Amino acid sequence: MVEIRNKKAYYDYYVLRELEVGIALTGTEIKSIRQGSASLNDTYARVKNHEVYLINMYIAKYEEGNRFNHEERRSRKLLLHRQEIHKIENEVKLEGISLIPLKLYFKGNKVKILLGVCKGKKNYDKRETIKERDLERLNRQ
């Protein structure tokens, strides 16, 4: 089972809520994801013309792909209902709210993305996160 996580997202952002969304992909992208050749680092989502797009997501070229192979970092459309898009659009207008993909996984034969509505952390918040993680690690031992 392929599951690609954005490990830095929980360190850099407070996750206010999570949404499970679909993503429009081509055939060679699906095959490349099945091989685990994708990354969510430095990826974010943006609302454009009442549609949500995933920007800067890396999916490696499929090795057996021909001339119809995909671009590695193209913008990919996320599949959401209109009401969800309007709700997200209103939240993003607030200062400091971002759309960050947290996880990419398969649900049946479909690729899904766990999209987080997030607020950025300050440096002192990040240090606090590190401190909590270290204390939890010490308590477990």
Written as six digits, the tokens of 30 are 């699906």
Number of neighbouring beta carbons within 10 Å of residue 58:
13
Model confidence over 36-91: pLDDT tens digits? 889 999 999 999 999 999 999 999 988 887 777 888 899 999 999 999 999 999 98
Q: What's the pLDDT tens digit per position in 115-130? A: 999 999 888 888 988 9
* pLDDT tier, 98 (very low <50, low <70, confident <90, very high otherwise): very high
CA distances from 110 to 10, 49, 66, 130, 136 (A): 25, 25, 23, 35, 36
Domains, in order of start, for the chain = 3-140 (2.40.280.10)
